[in-house]
Structure 1
C-alpha cells in the first residue's frame, strides 16, 4: 500500500486552514493507518464469522 507523504498531509490540511508540523503529520498518518488496519481486521473477522468459519 502506498503511503501518503507527511508533506502532502500538511498541504491538504493547510488548504483547509489547519496548520500542522511535519512531525504532527507523521503522527497523524501513523494513527490513521493503524486505525484503518484495525477496521479492516474487524471487518474481515465479522465476514468470516458470518460465513460460519
Structure 2
C-alpha cells in the first residue's frame, strides 16, 4: 500500500532519494536522504521567493 507521500506525483520520496544517491556511489542512510531532501526543498523555496520578490520590485518600479 502506498503512503500519502508516494501518491503525490513529481515528488521524490526519501526512499527514492536513497536509491538515487546510493546508485551514484553516495552511501547515505534513509535519515540522511531525508535531511538532504529537506535541505533541497529549503533552498528551492528560498530561490523562488527571491525571484518573485525581484520580479515584484521590477514591475512596481515601471
Same fold (TM over 0.5): yes
- Name the structure 2 match of 1:8: 16
Unpaired stretches in structure 2, ≥5 consecutive residues: 1-7
What TM-score, normalized by structure 1, do the two folds share? 0.87
CA deviation digits over 1:8-47, x for unaligned, max 9?
A: 0111111111110000011111111011111000000000
- Name the structure 2 match of 1:23: 31
What TM-score, normalized by structure 2, do the two folds share? 0.76
* RMSD of aligned Cα (Å): 1.6
> How many positions carry a matched residue from both structures?
53
